[in-house]
Amino acid sequence: MDTAATEFTFRDAVDTDVDALVALIESAYRGDASRAGWTTEADILQGQRTDPDGVLAVIKAPDSRLLTVEQQGRIVACCQLEHRGDHAYFGMFAVSPAVQGGGLGRTVMAEAERQARENWGVTEMHMTVISVREDLIAWYERRGYRRTGRMTPFPYGDERFGIPQRDDLRFELLVKELV
């Protein structure tokens, strides 16, 4: 872990974190506030990215955890880890736009991979990314994830996932071997 990460505390989310986590995830991906960082989806999706029920479901789900990162008592990053047999799923990844670009995302991802490997003994990490997010996919590729070409449809009409601004959205599976 790099020295900049020493000021961060990792822990599992609890019920009382839900509102702060929803605000963090929304700020990283949607609306004008998200444009302060590079992870914004504001040009391809409007509406919500998640809601309190969705975040609470991740916290409460068996074989799932919502890894939360605090700095000076404030939640600044999070990611979902879910044990799915021989692999883990990595999702709900958000870093506050105020601290993006400083290496925290890399640190969170490395810690998530370490914990999945050590706690569950998995050999792969899987994630899905909206296929038109070329900059984000390239960032994951630089961290060892590979594109599989396996696509799943975007849930058009289900506003829990946002309001699409284009008609070519789908999810691509990315995979990384955890050795």
pLDDT of residue 5: 45
The residue among 1 and 25 whose pLDDT is bigger is 25
Class (C level, CATH) for 3-177: alpha beta
Q: Note the pLDDT of residue 3.
A: 40
- The band of 10, judged by pLDDT with boundaries at 50, 70 and 90, is very high
Are 69 and 10 in contact by the 8 Å Cβ rule? The answer is: yes
Write out pLDDT tens, residues 92-139: 999 998 898 889 999 999 999 999 999 999 999 999 999 999 989 999
Query: 10 Å Cβ neighbour count for 39?
Result: 18
Dihedrals φ, ψ of 39, to 5°?
A: -90, 5
**pLDDT value at position 128?**
96
Residue 33: predicted pLDDT: 66
Given a cut of 80, is residue 2 above it in pLDDT? Answer: no
Token look-up 């870093």 returns 95
pLDDT value of position 40: 67
Q: What is the pLDDT of residues 24-82, one digit of tens each?
A: 998 887 766 666 666 667 678 877 778 899 999 999 999 999 999 999 999 999 999 99
pLDDT at res. 108: 96
Domain range annotation of the chain: 3-177
pLDDT at residue 145 in the model: 98
Question: Rounded CA gap, 124 and 105, in Å?
Answer: 19
- More confident of the two residues 114 and 3: 114
**DSSP letter (8 states) at residue 97:** G
Per-residue pLDDT, 47: 74
